[in-house]
Amino acid sequence: MYENQQPKEKAVLACVNTGAFDVQASLDELAELADTAGAEVLGQFIQNRDAPDNATYLGEGKLREIRDFCEEQKADLLILDDELSGSQIRNIEEITGVHAIDRTTLILDIFAGRARSREGRIQVELAQQKYRLPRLTGLGTQLSRQGGGIGTRGPGETKLESDRRHIRRRINALEEELASLEENRARVRERRAKNGATTVAIVGYTNVGKSTLLNLLTSAEAYVQDQLFATLDPTARELVLPNGQRVILVDTVGFIQRLPHHLVEAFHSTLEEAASADLILNVCDYSNPAVENQLEVTRKLLDDLGCGGIPTITVYNKIDCCPNPETLTGSDRTVFISGLKQWNIDILLRTIEQALSAQMCRVMLEIPYNRGELLSQLRERGHVFQEEFLEDRVRVDVNIDRKLLKALLPYRCDAEGASV
């Protein structure tokens, strides 16, 4: 569980509105991120400009207005809703007299506090170090700020450690260790594929109920909290569908708007769980007014990861927070549920079965008694309709994934029992 032991910092949010995106929705999300990191948001500032100022991001007049507000409200943190250069951060701090961080630093700070597995911690530190390296000159002494609040979690920095050569060496070491862990993850995926295991990946915006759904379906006991990025480390558990088919259900890290590319790069091996899945559950918060935008953000990131061709079920969660939920009707690729109230979970499971059945085929196989491991695979990964025990083999009428059938073709037979 992530706990912020520091007293709450008093934060002010600010951004430049160029018309490129919904600035108020983005600021509202930034406020949620700040709250997740342990800050109390005192106010928001928006400046309409054609483009951010190259030196100070916001205009100097707006920064002086923010300075006066921070002095009056005793704010000690300014969070900019964009990715800024080190020199921009330094100039903003000189004008406002307040510690400043950007959106990416805030997200990285949250990730540093949430990662629990060795792989997760390495991924976060790697993203932090890569983000800091080009900003050393502009940030000056800021990186020496040890444990002083939001933006300082993760690998501690001293003046000596700020040296470029040290950070490059650290990046190389982290990349080597992460590559080794990625190889292990790849071997697990290969083993699943070889065994004909069917994988269903849960993806979606952060804080939409993915871990709640995983716990409900598999009793996984994943950490659940009403916060952004409550869980980072992927969890894989076995799910037995009503028809007896066994699948691997995988939870993945949540998405947000403008997810920093440093994090997408660092968590690429984790996100590949979705890219190698047989079916994707795109979970979203139906009670959120921005639900369609959240779905679009997830779809775009999935396309970037090469998941565009994978069958997907859209799962609208949290319908218990909406009026007249009983009037909502789904389809073969859309389901309305409440993970908290356990509404329509049976419908979700049937929809998963139907989606996977398109990738299944019913065949008759004759398995020799000395290949008992194949029979075990059929029983675990498929749906056996009938077994007939013959003199030296078992005749099995089974519905199985086409991937598993490939390795079983030598044992296929026709209805009369003749080998094919």
CA proximity to 309, closest of 287, 337, 278: 278
**Domain made up of 197-357: CATH architecture:** 3-Layer(aba) Sandwich (3.40)
φ, ψ of residue 103 in degrees (nearest 5)? -60, -45
Indicate the DSSP class of residue 339: T
Alpha carbons 407 and 12: distance in angstroms, whole number: 60
Alpha carbons 307 and 157: distance in angstroms, whole number: 38
Q: Is it the case that residue 138 has pLDDT exceeding 60?
A: no
H helix and E strand count, the chain? 14, 14
Q: Is it the case that residue 136 has pLDDT exceeding 90?
A: no
Are both 9-117 and 197-357 of the same fold? yes
Lookup: tokens for 277: 């899945």
CA proximity to 195, closest of 408, 383, 412, 419: 408
The per-residue pLDDT of the chain, averaged, comes to 83
| pLDDT confidence band for 418 (50 / 70 / 90) | very low
Quick one: average pLDDT of 375-394?
85
Q: Is it the case that residue 146 has pLDDT exceeding 60?
A: no
For the chain, which residues make up each domain, given as ranges?
9-117, 197-357, 361-413
Look up tokens 């949540």; give the residue. Answer: 254
Q: Is it the case that residue 107 has pLDDT exceeding 60?
A: yes
Q: Is it the case that residue 264 has pLDDT exceeding 90?
A: no
pLDDT at 101: 95
At residue 140, the 3 state secondary structure works out as helix
Lookup: tokens for 240: 């037995």
**128 Cβ contact list (under 8 Å, min separation 6):** 108, 112, 154, 155
7-48 pLDDT per residue, tens: 789 999 999 999 988 899 899 989 989 998 889 999 999 999
Quick one: average pLDDT of 113-138?
80
**200 Cβ contact list (under 8 Å, min separation 6):** 239, 247, 248, 249, 250, 277, 278, 279, 280, 281, 352, 356
pLDDT at 197: 74
pLDDT at 145: 46
Q: Is it the case that residue 1 has pLDDT exceeding 60?
A: no
Q: Which CATH superfamily is domain 9-117 in?
A: GTPase HflX, N-terminal domain (3.40.50.11060)
pLDDT at 193: 66
Lookup: tokens for 17: 């509105």
**420 Cβ contact list (under 8 Å, min separation 6):** 412, 413, 414
Q: Is it the case that residue 318 has pLDDT exceeding 80?
A: yes
Lookup: tokens for 214: 């995983």
Quick one: average pLDDT of 266-273?
67
DSSP bridge partners of 43? 12
CA dihedral (135, 13, 150, 283) positive or negative: negative
Lookup: tokens for 169: 């060496």
175-212 pLDDT per residue, tens: 998 888 878 877 877 776 666 678 899 988 888 888 88
pLDDT at 158: 52
Q: Is it the case that residue 112 has pLDDT exceeding 60?
A: yes
Quick one: average pLDDT of 36-63?
95
270-302 pLDDT per residue, tens: 677 777 888 999 999 999 888 988 888 888 878
φ, ψ of residue 397 in degrees (nearest 5)? -100, 110
pLDDT at 212: 87
Helix (H) or strand (E) holding 126: helix 118-132
Indicate the DSSP class of residue 343: B
pLDDT at 42: 97
Quick one: average pLDDT of 146-153?
61
CA dihedral (57, 62, 66, 71) positive or negative: positive
Q: Name the residue with higher pLDDT: 231 or 326.
A: 326
Quick one: average pLDDT of 154-158?
54
pLDDT at 400: 81
Q: Name the residue with higher pLDDT: 308 or 157.
A: 308
Q: Which amino acid is at 367?
A: I
pLDDT at 80: 97
pLDDT at 405: 77
Alpha carbons 280 and 191: distance in angstroms, whole number: 20
b/e per residue, 283-319, with b = 16+ CB within 10 A?
bbbbbbebbebbbebbbebbeebebeebebbbbbbbb
Alpha carbons 338 and 371: distance in angstroms, whole number: 44
